[in-house]
């Protein structure tokens, strides 16, 4: 085939890919699967298949296809972006930023690449860089609500409330979560809760799930237990994000049976990822459900990454606090060969080694919960004495942005 024929073939493939992608975004995933089966070597078909997998939250499968594609086409910027997105969804922002650098060099003015770079900057805590990218994008695409919403959210995180308000006012009242976060940033906590409750009454599907998740996050520290309980009981299998948040709250309350019952609804879903498995496993251990605990723990990676370790530590901290740090940890009733004691002991060793290198607060908490679960109470008490914050000193929090 001559060069002209190749270009025509590429154009047809891209047109077809665009149609398939549009169908994917409307829920028709089978068309993309069929196209990739017929043309597995097509870069366009591969990219559509990866986006299809991401649309249904099958991140591991999407990541595998992306890595395979990069081995065949190592300089493809679209595949680099998809690989970075897979890493972002696995909460590995540093690796994702490294993966995205070649794509940024190849197409520095591409809006989608710049937007992903801003998301990764935010995830890595580099708020000033995220704001710079988003403000540039907002000039190029002044009516793009996804850009404006992300910019407002980052500004709120950085404390630039007045700048965020001007953007949120432009977006209108449809952005319920942003309106609520703005109210909280301005010290109007009660208004934030009312905004979220009103928004949830009219929302459906994924939007309702996101609003309910935010509502639980806002209600938990208020101490309004009856109100929080009322909303917790509304969480069901059609609210996967809210279920994970609810599971963590039930763990803090010591309602281990409720955690297991709630998260069972996700077990046949792709939403049943490491955070859900970890929450259910911790609840099963604390409830004395030995066989269930063992099965769930076996599903977890024997060597979880830093983010998974931090997630696990927070779950253990909540469960152990709820159980009043019993003298004999309940995991000792698990059968011989349980994964958990080895995981905890290895984690303590790891954090001992990292202590001299300045382990962060999450690492420190993880080490403490491992000590608690292993029954090393003296070391735990020493850690509590050394790390109990002074209530008169405020945390530095994220980097502050200019107001």
H or E element in which residue 115 lies: helix 111-123
User: Which domains are delineated in the chain?
Assistant: 11-108 (1.25.40.10)
User: What integer pLDDT is reported at residue 135 of this predicted model?
Assistant: 92
Rounded CA-CA distance 403/395 in Å is 19
pLDDT value at 92 more than 50: yes
Rounded CA-CA distance 282/278 in Å is 6
pLDDT tens figures, 342-360: 555 555 555 555 454 444 4
pLDDT tens figures, 46-87: 887 888 788 777 788 888 889 988 998 899 999 999 999 999
**For the chain, what's the residue count?**
403
At residue 324 the predicted structure's pLDDT band, cuts being 50, 70 and 90, is very low
User: What integer pLDDT is reported at residue 386 of this predicted model?
Assistant: 56
pLDDT tens figures, 203-258: 888 889 999 999 999 998 888 889 999 999 888 888 888 888 898 888 888 888 88
Rounded CA-CA distance 326/318 in Å is 13
Judge whether 338 and 331 are in contact, CB under 8 Å: yes
Cβ density class 157-179: b for 16+ within 10 Å, e for less: bbbbbebbbebbeeeeeebbbbb
The angle that helices 274-286 and 306-322 make with each other, rounded to 10 degrees, is 30
Q: What is the average pLDDT across 379-395? A: 49
């Amino acid at each position: 085939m001559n060069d002209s024929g190749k270009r025509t073939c590429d154009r047809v493939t891209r047109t077809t890919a665009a149609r398939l992608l549009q169908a994917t975004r409307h829920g028709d995933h089978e068309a993309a699967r069929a196209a990739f089966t017929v043309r597995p070597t097509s870069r366009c078909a591969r990219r559509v298949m990866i986006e299809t997998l991401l649309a249904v939250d099958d991140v591991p499968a999407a990541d595998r296809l992306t890595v395979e594609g990069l081995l065949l086409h190592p300089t493809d910027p679209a595949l680099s972006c998809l690989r970075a997105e897979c890493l972002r969804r696995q909460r590995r922002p540093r690796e994702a930023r490294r993966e995205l650098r070649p794509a940024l060099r190849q197409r520095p003015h591409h809006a989608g690449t710049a937007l992903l770079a801003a998301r990764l900057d935010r995830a890595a805590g580099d708020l000033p860089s995220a704001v710079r990218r988003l403000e540039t994008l907002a000039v190029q695409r002044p009516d793009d609500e996804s850009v404006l919403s992300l910019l407002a959210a980052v500004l709120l995180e950085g404390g630039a409330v007045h700048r965020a308000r001007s953007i949120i006012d432009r977006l209108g009242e449809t952005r319920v979560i942003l309106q609520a976060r703005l109210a909280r940033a301005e010290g109007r906590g009660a208004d934030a809760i009312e905004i979220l409750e009103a928004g949830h009454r009219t929302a459906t599907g994924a939007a309702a799930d996101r609003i309910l998740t935010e509502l639980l996050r806002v209600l938990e520290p208020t101490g309004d237990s009856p109100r929080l309980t009322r909303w917790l009981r509304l969480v069901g299998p059609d609210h996967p994000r809210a279920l994970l948040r609810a599971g963590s709250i039930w763990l803090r309350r010591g309602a281990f049976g409720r955690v297991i019952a709630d998260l069972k609804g996700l077990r046949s879903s792709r939403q049943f990822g490491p955070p859900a498995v970890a929450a259910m496993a911790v609840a099963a251990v604390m409830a004395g459900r030995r066989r269930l605990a063992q099965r769930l723990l076996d599903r977890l990676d024997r060597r979880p990454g830093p983010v998974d370790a931090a997630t696990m530590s927070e779950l253990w901290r909540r469960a152990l606090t709820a159980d009043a740090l019993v003298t004999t940890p309940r995991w000792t009733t698990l059968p011989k060969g349980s994964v958990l004691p080895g995981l905890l002991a290895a984690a303590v060793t790891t954090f001992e080694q990292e202590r001299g290198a300045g382990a962060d607060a999450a690492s420190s908490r993880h080490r403490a919960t491992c000590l608690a679960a292993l029954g090393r109470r003296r070391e735990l008490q020493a850690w509590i004495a050394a790390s109990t914050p002074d209530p008169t000193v405020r945390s530095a929090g994220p980097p502050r942005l200019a107001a």
